[in-house]
Amino acid sequence: MKFYIVIPAHNEADCIALTLESLANQTLLPKQVIVVNDNSSDETQAIVSALESKYSWLTLLNSQSSNQHLPGSKIINAFYKGFDTLDDDYDVICKFDADLIFPKHYLEQLAFHFKKDDQLGMAAGFCYIKKEQQWILENLTRKDHIRGALKAYRKQCFIEIGKLKPSMGWDTVDELLAKFYNWKLLTDETLQVKHLKPTGASYNKASKHLQGEAMYKMRYGFGITLISALKLASKKKSIALFTDYMVGYFKAKKQNMTPLVTKEQGKFIRKLRWSGMKNKFN
């Protein structure tokens, strides 16, 4: 299978070479990898440029953008700058972070899963972070959730869900829409990916408000938002985060922000979310 990979990178000089070398060591090489150097002020450009001359499948694309770190729109806008330079001769499109080390058989194993099931729309492994000299599961969400750091989409699924939404919550709404269109999702616990920078380490208060806004724009409604905010804040062990999420939700509601999904899709999402919550108590 033909894998095309887009890697948005902002000041990733300490990680990007490790990520790219792990892709270069794959048993199934990617056909194309685009690194979008998104307004970096460190040596990211020089490092990727040196590797670009070494690997024929690697391309560096320099991009200018804001220095403000807001998850969601910034990273997806960078993704599209890379994606728009690609042709459509791919089987799987990936959006990977620039701070990952993949096991050697990662792409080959994903290809195996996609070939085995024509209805498989998205697949990935799990992120592991280093803690006290050991690599442990970065358990921020359910194990059936594909982390935004390592998304891989079958072409038909990617197109049908409307590609990626330039908004906080993009890495949740993509899965919900995939299910809406009857695609399957798969997470392979044998694929352990080293995540060099823990998710959310540099998030500020404004970006935390965006999480609440995303819940509104996914048409969760108050009840599901309340429960989801409590759960996320509990995982991070921070009551302040719960407040930030709810402030973001009510801000979006007051401003009547444009949803990421249609009313029909929203109804499906709420039913899916409530069903999942009820199953956990049964």
The reported pLDDT for the residue numbered 209 is 85
Answer whether residue 261 shows pLDDT above 70.
Answer: yes
Is the pLDDT higher at 35 or at 145?
35
Specify the pLDDT at position 206: 62
Residue carrying structure tokens 């999904």: 261
Q: What are the φ/ψ torsions at residue 49 (nearest 5 degrees)? A: -60, -40
What are the residues facing 9 on neighbouring strands? 37
Domain ranges of the chain: 3-195, 205-281
User: Contact 177/265 with Cβ under 8 angstroms?
Assistant: yes
Q: Is the pLDDT of residue 234 over 90?
A: no
The number of beta carbons lying within 10 Å of the beta carbon of residue 15 is 20
Please state, in angstroms and rounded to a whole number, the distance separating the CA atoms of residues 176 and 268: 9
Q: For the segment 118-161, what is each residue's pLDDT rounded down to a tens digit?
A: 999 999 999 999 988 899 998 766 788 999 999 999 999 999 99
Q: For residue 134, give both structure tokens.
A: 């050991």
> So what's the pLDDT on residue 172?
94
Q: Where do we find the tokens 């403000």?
A: 68
Choose among 162, 184, 247, 199: nearest CA to 72: 199
* Average pLDDT for 187-214: 80
Match 């729309």 to its residue by tokens.
121
Per the CB < 8 A criterion, the answer to whether 37 and 51 are in contact is no
| Mean of pLDDT over the chain | 92
Could you say which DSSP state residue 25 is in? Answer: T
pLDDT digits (tens, 9 = 90+) for 263-279: 999 999 999 999 988 87
pLDDT digit string (tens) for 78-122?
Answer: 999 999 999 999 999 999 999 999 999 999 999 999 999 999 999
| Domain range 3-195, CATH architecture | Alpha-Beta Complex (3.90)
pLDDT, mean of residues 183-196: 96
Helix (H) or strand (E) holding 188: strand 184-195
